[in-house]
Structure 1
Amino acid sequence: MKMHPYLTLIEKRIPLVFDGAVGTEIQKRSVDPKVYGSSAGCNEILNINCPDVLISIHKAYLDAGAHIIQTNTFGGTRVKLGEYGLEKRVHEINFSAANNARRAIDQCSFSDGIQRFVCGSLGPTGYLPSSKNADLVGADYDQLVDIYKEQASALIDGGVDFVRIETSQDLLEVRAAMEGIRSVDKKIPVQVQITIDINGHMLLGSGIESFLGAVIGLGAAVVGINCGMGPKEMTPSILKLLRHSPVPVIALPNAGMPQNIDGKAFYALEPQGFAEILEPLVTVHGLSVVGGCCGTTPAHIKAAADILKDKKVAYRELHRPSCWLSTGIHGIDLESIERPVIIGERLNAQGSKKTKELILNDNKEELFLVAQEQADSGCAVIDICVAVNEKDNEKETLKNLVWYFSDRSSTPFCIDTTDPSVMVDTLKINPGSVMINSINLEHSAVNARKTLSLAAQFGSPVVALTIDDEGMAKTVAKKVELAGKLRDIACSEFGLPEHYIYIDPLVFTLATGEKEAANAANESLEALRQIKKTMPGVRTVMGVSNVSFGLKPKARRILNNVMLYHAVKAGLDAAIFNPLHKDNVENYDTGLRTLAENLLFNRSDDALSDYVNYFEKLTVEKVDGSENVLHILSDEEKIKCAILKRDRRDLQKTIQSLLKTKKANEILNTILLPAMAEVGEKMTNGEMILPFVLQAAEVMKESVTILEPYLKGSNAASKGKIILATVYGDVHDIGKNLVGSILRNQGYAVIDLGKQVAIETILESVKKEKPDAVGLSALLVTTSKQMRLCVEAFAKEGINIPVFIGGAAVNKDFAQRIAILDDKVYEGGVFYARDAFDASRMLDELASGRIVSGKTDSAGKPQSVAVTCEHTAVELTYEAPTEPPFWGTGEMLVWDVNQLLSSINTERLFKAQWAGGKLDSKEYDEVVEKEFLPSFNTLRDEIIENDLIDARGYYSFFPVIAENNRVIMLDPGNFNEEIASFVFPRMPKKNNRSIADYLRPEGDILGVQIVTIGKKIGDYCRNLFQKEDKYNKGYLLNGIGNYLVESLADKVTVEIRKALVIDSKRGRRYSFGYPGLPSLEDQKKLFEIIAGEERLGIILTDGFQMDPEHSTLGVFVCHPDAEYMS
């Protein structure tokens, strides 16, 4: 097929120049406002009402040296025109715009022999169909297709040479726009341009790889970036696009970064500077087309054209085979991945009982963890099969699950269904491209053709099974024959590239013992060789684990890996496989590997029985991922297992053995650090509870200690430096200490400033230490405000380093909000990390430019949301309790530490404070016996021996009256005198109730209670963390402290109920800092009234938190219907 002239010039490596901004040029011409009529502000109406202005702008750019001019149709969709009441004039306006541009070219003459082109511009609708916020979606896929079809039809009718989708913010909208254009003209070149932020991401977080994954399979002729930033700031993203894109690349930057002068955007980059930045991108790196966006003028375009005159675009390989898959946040090119491409198989209801149960329960969160586990273990693609016999809703389930995953998963999907009616809706809601699994030749390939039509429409590669109406192909000849038919239909009838066809020659189990099945693996392996020989353009795939179906888990894992090894040698490109069970077969025991190969290659009649008998006799540990066949393990794997299994035995011996063949820094960087990274993955996926993570960190610390003498003088540099601090006013630092411990063992240098750290101290440390990042921790909402103040201080001082935040009071949305400073985004970025491993991962990705999730607000200005809560009265016709035995503050209560420790409910402690609740019953029983009970007994003795607990407290009674959600506290000695008042907020999710609703307007009793276990235990825990590197012990001891202070609070509540002579379950205790009592400033008022400092030695920080941290203050209301506020 003849190449389009625009693309031909690009192929000849002639630097092509686009025009620049149109809107600013219109403003320069001082168009009479009357020309706009009733559509003031709509530049598109000038295409009809004032065409000469547009023609003059086009000619100015042509005279400056532009080869391509764009139509004045950025807002030419019915959506945008509808804002001015012009939605019925879409065709007229767009047609006129194309005609004006064509007339401008016709009125100019050119002496360089290069053709000039009119490009039809299709801008964004302003909708975000990929957003999870329903208010932002605006239109679905089919509606967007129709919207862009209408505009494209008018532009093509008007005579444009090609079209561009520009300034795009949402990849699902881009894909719909491309389909709309293709429905009008399948051959016209489509150029696609996105707008990104300084970190290389679109508005909803999509990166360069996501962009390519969304458009390459749909046939984008040219890809690029426009708007958003100047050429200098755009350069890193353009270079990345040039590295990855198989098609030509265009860059249309602004004239520098916008500056706000007198309320107007001003672009300061001069024409010559603009051109000088672009020139090496073209002549050195291979950028095919340049031009301008906001703030650029004919002078900028002339400078670019002049500097590129008579030069060549640097050579860059174009049109190389590529097969991009993507989600909303990341993408991969299957052609660039080392073989075999692993397609994770565990998110399949047909092959995983756990997945099936999760699908039946519609548990998307847990399903995502399954997918993430597969991704974290090395799969490039996740196979998703949701079909279950118990429900007939495969279509809806698949669509909803992929929609849920689309902005969470960086690993793309393989949609596993043979029903085209099931997959179509899913293809329309995913902003990226997916693999389709699968087609076959059953029923005369009717369904196959329907599916291939969808694959062509949505740019998807396809798994093709060698099955026809006679059944599954079992011989080499039949497999090859059907492979050829499948390829011919896909390529000849539907135009799919050969490398988009993944032929599966099928593999059958060897476990049946049937003679006719004994040669099944041989047939499949030889079929692979023949398919690759006779059809070298196609790709191959295989569900490898089918070969071992029916065997026991130990035997399956070994046979699967040996089969995979030989399949890859035979030409396998991709494997549907469990990445958690992928091994290096070179490390297998020679005898075991021979047994597996005897079975695969059918070398004897006894091959199956020999193989099975081996595993029947095997008494060493399992091969299921958590344990290993010991004689298979290399020294590298033994060290990894030592960390994962928290086992110090033989650690010194193994490391010393490994030092004979590897350098210390190599052991650290390639074995220890990756092992700790895997620990983090397991914690994130819920496979490893926190005490075990800390034990693993201790093994890591010991390993590094062994290596230290050999690391001196080596180049084993730190991965980076981070400052950690618990913000001013906050006394809770256990979480921050855990983060510091893990980050150190991940290879980071950590400077821990402690708790209650003033902003000035943080600033001073940053200036002195010059860290790569700062990590801030806060437990409560009130102290989290210090994080914003810190970011503001950094910006004021010109500090632009990343800030990571964590703690119970913060989340990703909070990080986005505090990054907005006076409508500007803090340049260093604010990132929410849910735990230390999350922080480590993001630090790694930040350093390499790959960070996606948790990034600083990409939506620009924050939007305020007003919530109106009307008062909902609570029925208070309850019998008031008897008058308390005293008013005011009661006597001190003191508890014996031995009695407290002996009354601990260990099951509650183990499950709630020591994370045992995350284990299944079998694991829990084993851990309790082997680890938790011994640790508890040791720590109990240590608490007594070191006198770590000073358990004291008291309670008080005050007369109060309620006015709406305000509670007035009266003087116990004079009920007519107010001593304080408190406003208790209304909770929208609790029918707008307030704690105040549970107190009587005519007078009631408010109980106040305060307890502490003293300061020693907190200091002791910090010492374990920071000086003794006993992370797990510190965590467990802190858990006991948390349990005891909560237990004391419960005991005091019991005493209050006894004093008031009310039922043992009546009333409710509320603590400050939680939803019902969010204001810690109110805590200060109450704290002073009950004399907490004088009586218990507790102090309040400037953030109104109690120190010691193992202390609580709360109020008690007597109403029988009182409930927890959330």
Structure 2
Amino acid sequence: MKASVASLYQAVELHQEIPPLLLGERCNPNGSKAFKEALLTEDWDACLKIALDQEARGAQVLDLCVAYAGRDEAADMLQLTQLFSGSCKAPLMFDSTSPDTLELVLPLYPGRAIINSINLEDGGANLDRICRLAKKYGAAVVALTINLEGMALTCEKKLAVAKEIYALAVDKHGLRPQDILFDLLTFTVGSGDETMRDAAIETLKAIRLVKEELPGVGFTLGISNISFGLRPAARKVLNSIFLHEAVDAGLNTAIVDAAKVLPYASISEEDRKICFDLLFNRHPDALMTFIDYFEQVVEEDDNVDETSLKAEELLQQKILKGDKEGLGDLLTVLRGRWQPLDIINNLLVPAMREVGELFGRGDLLLPFVLQSAEAMKQSVNLLEPYMEKQADEGKTSILLATVAGDVHDIGKNLVDIILTNNGYKVHNIGIKVPAEEIIAKAKELQVDVVGLSGLLVKSALLMKDNLAQFQTVGLSQPVLLGGAALTTKFVAVDCAPGYQQPVIYCADAFAGLKAIRDFEAGKLVSTQWEESSVTKNRPSPQQEVLDRSFAPPIVPFVGRKLVTDVDVEKVFNYLNKAALFRGRWGYRRGKMSKEDYAELNANTIEPLFQRLKEQSLNEGWLQPKVTYGYFDCVSEGNNLLISSDTGEKIFSFPRQENAPGLCIADYLRNEAEGGDKVGFFVVTLGDRLATRTKQLYESDSYHDYLMLHGLGVELTDALAEYWHEKMRIEMGIQQDRGDMEAYVAQGYQGSRYGFGYPACPDLGAHDPLFEMLRPDEIGISLTESFEMVPEMSTSAIVIHHPQAKYFAV
């Protein structure tokens, strides 16, 4: 059966009797300035006009790409699919590698589409998802010969990758060979790169070889790639010659602006010879001869490329979009015009600066910022082999460290990502770093600025102590402080006065970036704080009177239990998605309308969550385990005396200095009242998730790193919430479970207080707790500062008193 694609109005055969089938390429914001402007201003009529113009010029299928930084790809693709479906006779080719976007539009398209594209860049996971969609909705697919090693350059490599893809798409997923269009990739012969002189030869040989080895499959190519970097008039001729040769080799379809294709017969013999010499690398001076020859040709003003971008603009757009595809070829062209360091300083860094500005205005969400950082990082990595060693000289340098005893590094690593990809030199010296090592490294590396990070209350107090040590030894660098337990007031009032240089509170990575820029401008000053009139006039809270009449609960056992068979699926039921999506992942509504945010949630955030959930379960990244118990106790002032099989333990808790003067020990009965019962637990997700996030960070997969780490942190809290509920049930104080909002608001009796957090900030309490519960038996250990390892672990004291709620000391 012949392979065809169809719109609402007509069907078109993929394998034309007289090839090639022309695939229009201008509905793409990354290659068409006009389409980009129409998309960004949501001028849908202008988008449609560009599509219809291509039809009028001979395009038989329309490639539709809408992925662009700061835009909702799924929503835009849906909008234009619905518009184009009713107005365009040409079938559509959905240019997206997002399965979630494809799954949204494929069932709504009233025809048979092409999916552009699949590859093996991630080993095949994305390919599997897209092939399932292609099979389900009857779509054809474009397959790029890319695998874990990158883009296939030689004929042999192109064949090998094509065979791998064929085995998965045809043998595993049941797609028909004739529904696969292999894009064997071609690269510019116009860059002067010696390794690309045979690019056209390798591609043409590969088409013939794959056609022979994999009967029935089709082929496509982005024809204009062969001439990237050359003058428009020269490109038009070279593209047309290359298209002729590719069709002769077996090419079925071509991604090209039909208006830019010259009839082969209209091209002079002299033009053909010059092009053939370059395409087939017939002599060493073929490129210079070609350039000199076409310098004499007058450019045609046919408006064919008012929509195209220069290489410099295209690189910056790729950074803004977070698009890594084709960076190698693009940078090869730019290296012929710019020094590598100039590309970084004049093109890449300004693009990342714009990314930061978009984020600061609320026009770009954090996940998209990290995708841009990935593209920036890859660009720099590709340029590094061509840069002189002293390229870092003159850059502002920053030392980053998580303070002693603190194993949390997500905040510090995000700062590293943002600063590094804005052109700064970052020395990230890790976690649990004592002040002495920070001082030694700051002096050894001669850094300009020091940045300290830490999650816990104890870490904030340690930063204050570190600053005193810095002052004693005469450290001269400004210090940036960041962490969840810090506040503007604490940094300004408690930290800054103890150090001679500026001390700045940075609420997030971009506050750190602003501080570095202020430093370079000579405007960096310590964080200031002044009590507002609202704070001054706020009425003092009243002393809380606790009900002492509540009897201790009946507990199922006294002592401890280990649980190693926790149902992972149940843990997900206790996940606070709002905290995950908006807090950990950074998908905040910001300037979006309620409707737009709902679409983002449905089309991007929720599918991402489901994908990570499925991966976590399938890959075995989650190993939830619990040790918990109930113990006899009596309160004595601020202390809690615990009877356990390892002897009496004493837990001391701080008391609020001002009304209502709360202390955790107050919620439990004293000896005169007959004593009480108290619960404790330690839970963990194990160490596999941390291992996976570390791999993602080290491979510069910043977006996936943030997403998976955030999921792990919130799942740890979900496991704690789940086990707290189980303990309330066992104590007989659990009412019917409400929704997640009720849980967040503590809509239940009792409370759990995590060690290291505001109501009980002393991590030293882990010492007696570990003797009582023995968390080492479920793989948890303590650092010298009593912090738990693995990171995805948490502990709590469980109080049954009805008035017990969260509070801070």
Separation (CA, whole Å) in 2 of partners of 1:815 and 1:754 = 22
Task: Give the aligned partner of residue 1053 of structure 1.
Answer: 724
Native 8 Å contact 1:878 1:1119 kept in 2:
no
Please state if 1:695 is matched with 2:371.
yes
Q: What letter corresponds to residue 1118 of structure 1 in structure 2?
A: H
Map of 1:281-680 to 2, 5 A cutoff? Answer: 631=307, 635-652=311-328, 654-680=330-356
Aligned equivalent of 1:956, options 629, 640, 657: 629
Separation (CA, whole Å) in 1 of partners of 2:356 and 2:377 = 15
Aligned equivalent of 2:796, options 1108, 1111, 1114: 1114
Please state if 1:1020 is matched with 2:696.
no
Q: What letter corresponds to residue 650 of structure 2 in structure 1?
A: A
Task: Give the aligned partner of residue 874 of structure 1.
Answer: 545
Separation (CA, whole Å) in 2 of partners of 1:1125 and 1:1108 = 27
Q: What letter corresponds to residue 642 of structure 2 in structure 1?
A: L
CA shift in 2, pair 1:645/1:1048, >3 Å: same
Native 8 Å contact 1:1067 1:1117 kept in 2:
yes
Please state if 1:997 is matched with 2:666.
yes
Please state if 1:834 is matched with 2:507.
yes
Separation (CA, whole Å) in 1 of partners of 2:706 and 2:312 = 29
CA shift in 2, pair 1:971/1:852, >3 Å: closer
Please state if 1:734 is matched with 2:410.
yes
Separation (CA, whole Å) in 2 of partners of 1:995 and 1:887 = 21
Deviations 1:605-635 (A, max 9, x none): xxxxxxxxxxxxxxxxxxxxxxxx9938554
Report the Cα offset of residue 841 of structure 1: 2.4
Task: Give the aligned partner of residue 485 of structure 1.
Answer: none
Deviations 1:1062-1085 (A, max 9, x none): 233221111122222222223433
Please state if 1:969 is matched with 2:641.
yes
Separation (CA, whole Å) in 2 of partners of 1:871 and 1:968 = 25
Task: Give the aligned partner of residue 439 of structure 2.
Answer: 763
Task: Give the aligned partner of residue 523 of structure 2.
Answer: 850
CA shift in 2, pair 1:808/1:704, >3 Å: same
CA shift in 2, pair 1:710/1:630, >3 Å: farther
Separation (CA, whole Å) in 1 of partners of 2:568 and 2:394 = 44
Which gives a bigger RCO, structure 1 or 2 (Cα 8 Å, sep 6+)? 2
Native 8 Å contact 2:627 2:681 kept in 1:
yes
Report the Cα offset of residue 1089 of structure 1: 2.7
Report the Cα offset of residue 1110 of structure 1: 0.8
Q: For 1:1122, what is the secondary structure of its paired residue?
A: coil
Map of 1:92-111 to 2, 5 A cutoff? Answer: none
Percent identity of equivalent pairs:
34
Report the Cα offset of residue 826 of structure 1: 3.0
Separation (CA, whole Å) in 2 of partners of 1:871 and 1:993 = 11
Task: Give the aligned partner of residue 892 of structure 1.
Answer: 563
Q: For 1:953, what is the secondary structure of its paired residue?
A: strand
Q: For 1:1103, what is the secondary structure of its paired residue?
A: coil
TM-score (norm 1): 0.40
Task: Give the aligned partner of residue 1088 of structure 1.
Answer: 771
Q: What letter corresponds to residue 1020 of structure 1 in structure 2?
A: R
Report the Cα offset of residue 735 of structure 1: 0.9
Report the Cα offset of residue 962 of structure 1: 3.0
CA shift in 2, pair 1:903/1:806, >3 Å: closer
Separation (CA, whole Å) in 1 of partners of 2:576 and 2:797 = 25
Q: What letter corresponds to residue 1074 of structure 1 in structure 2?
A: Y
CA shift in 2, pair 1:993/1:950, >3 Å: same
Please state if 1:1033 is matched with 2:704.
yes
Separation (CA, whole Å) in 2 of partners of 1:796 and 1:783 = 20
CA shift in 2, pair 1:925/1:641, >3 Å: farther
Separation (CA, whole Å) in 1 of partners of 2:644 and 2:559 = 6
Aligned residues: 482
TM-score (norm 2): 0.54
Q: For 2:307, what is the secondary structure of its paired residue?
A: helix
Report the Cα offset of residue 957 of structure 1: 1.0
Separation (CA, whole Å) in 2 of partners of 1:858 and 1:1056 = 44
Native 8 Å contact 2:574 2:718 kept in 1:
no
Unaligned runs of 5+ in 2: 1-304, 736-747
Aligned equivalent of 1:800, options 453, 459, 476: 476
Deviations 1:922-980 (A, max 9, x none): 4444444554455445534543455322210022112223345x242231579xx8531
Separation (CA, whole Å) in 2 of partners of 1:973 and 1:854 = 50
Task: Give the aligned partner of residue 314 of structure 1.
Answer: none
Q: For 1:730, what is the secondary structure of its paired residue?
A: coil
Q: For 1:1114, what is the secondary structure of its paired residue?
A: strand
Separation (CA, whole Å) in 1 of partners of 2:514 and 2:681 = 43
Native 8 Å contact 1:774 1:801 kept in 2:
yes
Report the Cα offset of residue 728 of structure 1: 0.6
Q: What letter corresponds to residue 707 of structure 2 in structure 1?
A: L
Separation (CA, whole Å) in 1 of partners of 2:623 and 2:645 = 32
Q: What letter corresponds to residue 487 of structure 2 in structure 1?
A: N
Report the Cα offset of residue 1028 of structure 1: 0.4
Native 8 Å contact 1:984 1:996 kept in 2:
no
Report the Cα offset of residue 654 of structure 1: 4.7
Q: What letter corresponds to residue 993 of structure 1 in structure 2?
A: L
Task: Give the aligned partner of residue 943 of structure 1.
Answer: 616
Q: What letter corresponds to residue 768 of structure 1 in structure 2?
A: E
CA shift in 2, pair 1:637/1:828, >3 Å: same
Native 8 Å contact 1:782 1:1103 kept in 2:
no
Native 8 Å contact 2:649 2:768 kept in 1:
no
Native 8 Å contact 1:967 1:982 kept in 2:
yes
Native 8 Å contact 1:987 1:1076 kept in 2:
no
Please state if 1:748 is matched with 2:424.
yes
Report the Cα offset of residue 876 of structure 1: 1.2
Q: For 1:1014, what is the secondary structure of its paired residue?
A: coil
Separation (CA, whole Å) in 2 of partners of 1:657 and 1:957 = 69
Native 8 Å contact 1:642 1:699 kept in 2:
yes
Separation (CA, whole Å) in 1 of partners of 2:804 and 2:691 = 37
Deviations 1:57-92 (A, max 9, x none): xxxxxxxxxxxxxxxxxxxxxxxxxxxxxxxxxxxx
Native 8 Å contact 1:833 1:854 kept in 2:
no
Q: What letter corresponds to residue 345 of structure 2 in structure 1?
A: N
Task: Give the aligned partner of residue 761 of structure 2.
Answer: 1078
Native 8 Å contact 1:677 1:837 kept in 2:
no
Please state if 1:682 is matched with 2:340.
no
Please state if 1:809 is matched with 2:485.
yes
Task: Give the aligned partner of residue 408 of structure 1.
Answer: none
Native 8 Å contact 1:1018 1:1108 kept in 2:
yes
Native 8 Å contact 1:698 1:1031 kept in 2:
yes
CA shift in 2, pair 1:687/1:854, >3 Å: farther
Q: What letter corresponds to residue 665 of structure 2 in structure 1?
A: A
Native 8 Å contact 2:635 2:641 kept in 1:
no
Report the Cα offset of residue 1045 of structure 1: 1.0
Q: What letter corresponds to residue 996 of structure 1 in structure 2?
A: A
Report the Cα offset of residue 672 of structure 1: 1.6
Report the Cα offset of residue 1034 of structure 1: 0.9
Task: Give the aligned partner of residue 1101 of structure 1.
Answer: 783
**RMSD of aligned C-alpha atoms?**
3.5
Task: Give the aligned partner of residue 268 of structure 1.
Answer: none
Task: Give the aligned partner of residue 783 of structure 1.
Answer: 459
Report the Cα offset of residue 1040 of structure 1: 1.6
Separation (CA, whole Å) in 1 of partners of 2:656 and 2:526 = 33
Q: What letter corresponds to residue 655 of structure 2 in structure 1?
A: P
Native 8 Å contact 2:374 2:700 kept in 1:
yes
Report the Cα offset of residue 646 of structure 1: 2.3
CA shift in 2, pair 1:879/1:812, >3 Å: closer
Native 8 Å contact 1:949 1:1014 kept in 2:
yes
Report the Cα offset of residue 999 of structure 1: 2.2
CA shift in 2, pair 1:853/1:792, >3 Å: closer
CA shift in 2, pair 1:968/1:834, >3 Å: closer
Q: For 1:956, what is the secondary structure of its paired residue?
A: strand
Separation (CA, whole Å) in 2 of partners of 1:714 and 1:730 = 34
CA shift in 2, pair 1:1047/1:634, >3 Å: same
CA shift in 2, pair 1:692/1:922, >3 Å: farther
Report the Cα offset of residue 868 of structure 1: 15
